[in-house]
């Protein structure tokens, strides 16, 4: 059986994928660059992998928006995904960072497609229609790869359903562990509520449509767990440990350690990741409303039938067979599988149309819906794959009922549907020639099928061409319309890993009329994600004063003075004067400080001392994302200020003994350093945090290896159906 399956995989899956790679080569090669959120996720994964390759688990990013806790972006990209290590492996063999990332995206997408093909084989139990489902998804979904981050959630979601159905049929170890592994990937990738909504809603309708079979599944799972107690405990323990991450992140989002002004403005929920649904900012021309991200109002469908030569990477495109089959299948009896998919499909659409009553009801009563704004993600994660399976199921039933019957009435109906569809297409402005050709090839395919043409290989090739020729030309139009896009934003810097900290010499000046280019060039968006203390400071004292002050990363002061109302909006004028003039004094909070924190050691010295690379009093021993190690040699006690964002997760030690880290000048980290030679270490995070992260990182790698080993031993391929019968 294995050679025949391998041959089927090569001809029906791998070769069409090579055609897709050829069609999208302009994006895969990096010629047009990444766009939208795909670009941001490239930098997120790049920052993580560059640091982890140096043994640094980056819980803090000192260069983003003045210094921020980095858990939000780690959760967003799902840093525990073991497939990210493909990027590091490719870089070892000489690929640049962007090239390696693009190859990873393509390979990871292919992994998801393989899972969808296997799922279609189980679900449809027909080689022709399962391959058609694979081809429809391959060419419909592909452009999203270079525009959005959906693939990070799509791949584990597809494999979750495959492993779940395999477990229902055969109850093997690899499928049970595969369910736990894919669920762990889903819950550790932001936002897990998208795929969890898909899983929960679909399984609910499976239970309603197949109640008897569902009860049998529960019995099968119970018997498996009894027979494999240790294996079950280990697998579920791994899943529960992974689930602790989003729970911890939820509490972090309510703790004030970061802010999301763009996202959170006007939200009623305390969590910073919560959304507002109806807030506008006319001054900036921004509307913070969920309808911007509506599943059908996002503009994906503008060029399905017209103006196809103007198509861009964000536009939805799919072969017209997808629309023709449901028109033909009106004469089919409705199968239970089709009904299950249709109800699940309609439900997902209705709960994600933001001006509908059902969405408003869900928004009010389901707490996690207040955390999801890009509702159009449901289109790519579930609505399109479900619709494709539904259409191919209708096609399977049509072929079963009419193939070889030579029914003249059916043949005339098929001709009428295609002629009317073709005539409607001609009325559309800018329809491509390939669209017309695909309709013609579809007509020939169905006529030959009804006539009983038995050359299955030739029929399959004809079906493939009718599915592929239109999306291939669409890829050409998208490439042509991307010519104006500049890939220069993807300039391949050496590494995110920091090697320089201080300015090289005392003669360094602020270029560009007072703008520090090392700060201005840093990636950061205070309107989207920011350190709350830095964000408040910038809003109240202005960018110029802020950047002038943080031009030097380390400053030495002799005087600290108390401030009763320690927030920038309360004393912004005083703080602005201090920062812009760099006076030799620092403001500390009266309430959170001790009497010994306030000192006046050199009141006649007017200016603070900036620390440069050649300053003898302070030497940098080590600097990375989470740590700053210094050696100081002072002739009297001085207050050391690090102009990087404050966070209570930072600790400071002097000669190995923990000292008081103070929030100075509203937003920065500071400590009193005694005279003499001392070793100062600023460190973010706790040993327990790092241990838990490394354990999970290793746990994901070990788990995916175990799934592969058990799958090879037990057999990945399943020739039975899903048990979801007609």
Alpha helices for 403-495 (secondary structure H): 408-426, 433-451, 456-481
Contact 544, 538 (CB under 8 A): no
In order of 242, 393, 411, 415, 471, the CA distances from 418 in angstroms are: 51, 20, 11, 5, 19
Of the given ranges (301-315, 634-648, 710-724), which has the lowest mean pLDDT?
710-724
474 and 428 assigned to the same domain: yes
pTM here is 0.91
pLDDT of 288 higher than 70: no
Tokens, residue 632: 């100081």
Determine the pLDDT at residue 572.
78
pLDDT interval class at 726 (50, 70, 90)? low
Average pLDDT score over the chain: 86
Q: Are residues 550 and 449 in the same domain?
A: no
Buried b / exposed e over 206-243, threshold 16 CB at 10 Å, is: beebbeeebeebeeebeebbeeeeebbeebeebbeebe
The half-sphere exposure of 352 on its side-chain side, counting CA atoms within 13 A, is: 28
Residues 698, 680: one domain? no
Residues 450 and 413 in one domain: yes
Instruction: Report the C-alpha gap between 245 and 249 in whole angstroms.
Output: 6
Is 124 a member of any domain? yes
Domain that includes residue 635, residue range: 511-684
Confidence of residue 722 (pLDDT cuts 50, 70, 90): low
d(C-alpha 531, C-alpha 438), whole Å: 53
Omega before 540 cis (within 30°)?
Answer: no
CA 325 from chain center: how many Å? 33
287 band by pLDDT with thresholds 50, 70 and 90: very low
Would you say residue 495 lies in a domain? no
**Cα(323)–Cα(420) distance, integer angstroms:** 12
The secondary element (H helix, E strand) that includes residue 684 is: strand 676-684
Look at residue 596 and tell me if it is in a domain: yes
- Number of folded domains that form the chain: 2
560-563 and 586-589 strand pairing: parallel
In the structure, how many helices (H) and strands (E) does the chain have?
28, 16
Q: Is the pLDDT of residue 710 over 60?
A: yes
Please tell me the predicted confidence (pLDDT) of residue 390. 95
List, in order, residues 6 or more apart from 290 with CB less than 8 Å away. Answer: 275, 277, 354, 373, 375
The one-character DSSP state at 496 is S
Has residue 490 been placed in a domain? no
Q: What is the mean pLDDT of residues 438-464?
A: 86
- CA distance linking residue 111 with residue 656, whole number of Å: 48
- Whether residue 559 is predicted with pLDDT greater than 90 in this model: the reply is yes
Take residue 210 and report the two structure tokens written for it.
């197949």
3-class DSSP state of 2 = helix
Q: What angle do CA 73, 78, 79 make, to 5 degrees?
A: 85
Q: How far is CA 701 from CA 92, 232, 245, in A?
A: 19, 18, 17
3-state secondary structure of 567: coil
Give CA–CA dist 543/534, Å, rounded.
11
Give the Cα separation of 406 and 110 in Å (integer): 39
pLDDT of 516: 36
112 versus 43: which is more confidently predicted? 112
Q: Is residue 521 part of a domain?
A: yes
- 393 burial via Cβ count (<10 Å: 0-12, 13-18, 19+): buried
How far apart CA 35 and CA 26 sit, in angstroms, is: 13
Residues 67 and 191 reside in one and the same domain = yes
Give yes or no: residues 646 and 707 share one domain. no
668-673 and 676-684 strand pairing: unpaired
54 half-sphere exposure, CB direction, 13 A CA radius: 17
User: Rounded mean pLDDT of 530-547?
Assistant: 85
* Beta partners for residue 590, in sequence order: none
Residue 607: beta bridge partners?
Answer: 583
At residue 297 the predicted structure's pLDDT band, cuts being 50, 70 and 90, is: low
DSSP 163-226: HHHHHHHH--HHHHHHHHHHHHHHHTSS-THHHHHHHHHHHHHHHHHSHHHHHHHHHHHHHHHH
| Exposed / middle / buried, residue 340 (Cβ in 10 Å: 0-12, 13-18, 19+) | buried
Question: CA-to-CA distance for 170 and 716, rounded, in angstroms?
Answer: 11
Question: Among 233, 240, 121, which residue's Cα sits nearest to residue 176?
Answer: 233
Which tokens go with 234? 């280990």
Grouping H, G, I as helix, E, B as strand and the rest as coil, residue 368 is helix
- pLDDT band of 564, cuts 50, 70, 90: confident
Tokens representing 395 are 């096609």
- Please say if the pLDDT value at position 340 is more than 90: yes
| In contact, 27 and 103? CB cutoff 8 Å | no
Q: Are 172 and 720 in contact (CB under 8 A)?
A: no
pLDDT band at 508 (very low <50, low <70, confident <90, very high): very low
- 3-class SS letters over 619-641: EEEEECCCEEEEEEEECCCEEEE
Task: Select from 577, 597, 726, 568 the least CA-distant residue to 673.
Answer: 597
Residues 6+ apart with CB under 8 A from 268: 274, 370
At CA 196, angle to CA 194 and CA 201, rounded to 5? 100
Q: How far apart are CA 562 and CA 361, in angstroms?
A: 50
The phi and psi torsions of 684 (rounded to 5 degrees) equal -100, 140
Whether residue 160 is found in the same domain as residue 282: yes
Task: Please give the helix or strand (H or E) that residue 547 lies within, else none.
Answer: helix 543-549
Helices 173-187, 151-170: axis angle to 10 degrees equals 150
Q: Are residues 134 and 225 in the same domain?
A: yes
> How far apart, in whole angstroms, are the C-alpha atoms of residue 4 and residue 7?
5
Specify whether 707 is located in the same domain as 679.
no
H-run or E-run covering 560: strand 560-563
Where residue 684 falls among pLDDT bands split at 50, 70, 90?
Answer: very high
For residue 43, tell me if it sits in a domain. Answer: yes
The reported pLDDT for the residue numbered 414 is: 96
The phi and psi torsions of 259 (rounded to 5 degrees) equal -130, 150
Higher pLDDT, 266 or 385: 385
pLDDT one-digit tens code per residue, 404-419: 999 999 999 999 999 9
Q: What is the pLDDT of residue 408?
A: 94
Q: Using the predicted structure, report yes or no on whether residue 345 has a pLDDT greater than 80.
A: yes
Q: Is the pLDDT of residue 567 over 80?
A: no
**Is residue 708 very low, low, confident or very high in pLDDT (cuts 50, 70, 90)?**
very high
Q: Running DSSP on this structure, what letter comes out for residue 142?
A: G
Instruction: Tell me how long the chain is.
Output: 726
- Which SS3 state, helix, strand or coil, does residue 680 take? strand
Cα Dmax for the chain: 104
444 & 320 share domain = yes
Q: Which residues contact 38 (CB under 8 A, 6 or more apart)?
A: 105, 145, 146, 147, 148, 149
What is the CB neighbour count within 10 angstroms for residue 4?
Answer: 8
Residues 26 and 115 in one domain: yes
**Overall average pLDDT of the 686-699 stretch:** 93
589, containing H or E segment? strand 586-589
In whole angstroms, what is the distance from residue 417 CA to residue 407 CA? 16
pLDDT digits 0-9 by tens, 150-179: 999 999 999 999 999 999 999 999 999 999
pLDDT per residue as tens digits for the range 233-281: 999 999 999 999 999 998 999 988 999 887 777 777 888 888 875 534 4
Q: How high is the pLDDT of residue 286?
A: 37
Cα dist. 332→274, 338, 343, 445, 599 in Å? 45, 11, 17, 18, 86
Of 161, 158, 75, residue with least CA distance to 109: 158
The answer to whether residue 66 is domain-embedded is yes
| Claim to verify: residue 640 and residue 705 sit in the same structural domain | no
User: What's the token pair of residue 491?
Assistant: 């300039």
Asked whether residue 626 is domain-assigned, the answer is yes
């Amino acid at each position: 059986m294995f050679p025949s399956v391998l041959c089927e995989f090569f001809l029906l899956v791998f070769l069409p994928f090579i055609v897709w790679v050829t069609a999208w080569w302009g994006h895969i090669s990096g010629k047009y660059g990444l766009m939208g959120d795909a670009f941001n996720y490239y930098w997120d994964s790049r920052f993580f992998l560059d640091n982890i390759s140096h043994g640094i688990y980056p819980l803090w990013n000192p260069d983003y928006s003045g210094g921020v806790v980095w858990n939000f972006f780690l959760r967003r990209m799902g840093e525990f995904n073991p497939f990210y290590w493909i990027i590091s492996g490719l870089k070892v063999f000489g690929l640049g960072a962007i090239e390696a990332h693009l190859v990873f995206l393509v390979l990871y997408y292919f992994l998801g497609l393989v899972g969808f093909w296997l799922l279609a084989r189980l679900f449809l139990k027909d080689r022709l229609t399962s391959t058609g489902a694979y081809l429809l998804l391959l060419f419909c979904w592909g452009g999203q790869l270079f525009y959005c981050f959906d693939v990070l959630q799509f791949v584990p979601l597809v494999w979750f359903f495959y492993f779940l159905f395999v477990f229902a049929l055969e109850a093997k170890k690899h499928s049970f562990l595969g369910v736990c592994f894919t669920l762990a990937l889903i819950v550790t990738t932001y936002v897990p509520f998208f795929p969890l909504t898909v899983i929960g809603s679909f399984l609910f309708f499976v239970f309603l449509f197949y109640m008897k079979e569902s009860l049998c599944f529960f019995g099968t799972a119970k018997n498996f767990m009894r027979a494999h107690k240790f294996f079950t405990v280990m697998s579920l323990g791994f899943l529960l440990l992974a689930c602790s991450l989003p729970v911890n992140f939820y509490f972090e989002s309510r703790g004030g350690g970061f802010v999301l002004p763009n996202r959170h403005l006007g939200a009623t929920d305390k969590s910073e990741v919560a959304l507002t649904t109806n807030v506008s900012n006319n001054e900036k021309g921004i509307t913070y409303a969920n309808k911007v991200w509506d599943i059908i109002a996002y503009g994906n469908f503008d060029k399905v039938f017209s103006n196809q030569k103007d198509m861009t990477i964000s536009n939805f495109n799919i072969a017209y067979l997808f629309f023709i089959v449901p028109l033909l299948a009106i004469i089919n009896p409705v199968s239970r599988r089709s009904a299950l998919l249709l109800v699940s499909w309609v439900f997902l659409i209705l709960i994600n149309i933001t001006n509908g009553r059902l969405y408003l009801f869900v928004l009010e009563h389901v707490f996690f819906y207040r955390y999801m704004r890009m509702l159009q993600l449901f289109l790519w994660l579930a609505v399109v794959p479900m619709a494709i399976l539904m259409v191919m199921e209708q096609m399977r039933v049509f072929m079963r009922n009419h193939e070889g019957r030579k029914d003249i009435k059916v043949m005339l109906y098929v001709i009428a549907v295609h002629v009317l569809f073709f005539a409607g297409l001609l009325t559309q402005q800018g329809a491509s020639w390939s669209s017309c050709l695909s309709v013609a090839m579809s007509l020939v395919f169905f006529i030959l099928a009804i006539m009983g043409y038995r050359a299955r290989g030739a029929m399959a090739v004809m079906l493939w061409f009718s599915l592929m020729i239109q999306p291939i030309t669409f890829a050409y139009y998208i490439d042509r319309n991307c010519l104006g896009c500049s890939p220069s934003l993807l300039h391949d810097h050496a590494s995110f890993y920091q090697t320089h900290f201080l300015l090289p010499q005392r003669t360094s000046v602020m270029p560009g009329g007072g703008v520090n280019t090392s700060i201005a060039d840093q990636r950061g968006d205070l309107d989207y994600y920011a350190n709350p203390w830095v964000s408040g400071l910038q809003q109240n004292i202005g960018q110029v004063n802020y950047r002038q002050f943080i031009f030097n990363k380390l400053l030495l002061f002799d005087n600290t003075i108390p401030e009763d109302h320690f927030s920038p909006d309360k004393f912004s004028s005083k703080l602005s004067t201090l920062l812009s003039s760099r006076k030799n004094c620092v403001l500390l909070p009266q309430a959170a400080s001790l009497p010994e924190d306030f000192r006046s050691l050199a009141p006649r010295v007017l200016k603070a001392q900036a620390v440069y690379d050649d300053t003898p009093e302070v030497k940098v021993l080590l600097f990375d994302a989470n740590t700053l190690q210094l050696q100081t040699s002072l002739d009297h006690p001085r207050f050391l200020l690090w102009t990087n964002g404050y966070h209570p997760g930072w600790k400071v030690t002097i000669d190995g003994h923990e000292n008081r880290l103070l929030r100075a000048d509203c937003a920065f980290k500071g400590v009193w350093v005694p005279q003499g030679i001392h070793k100062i270490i600023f460190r973010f995070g706790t040993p327990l945090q790092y241990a838990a992260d490394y354990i999970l990182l290793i746990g994901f790698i070990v788990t995916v290896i175990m799934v592969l080993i058990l799958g090879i031993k037990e057999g990945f391929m399943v020739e039975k159906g899903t048990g979801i019968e007609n």
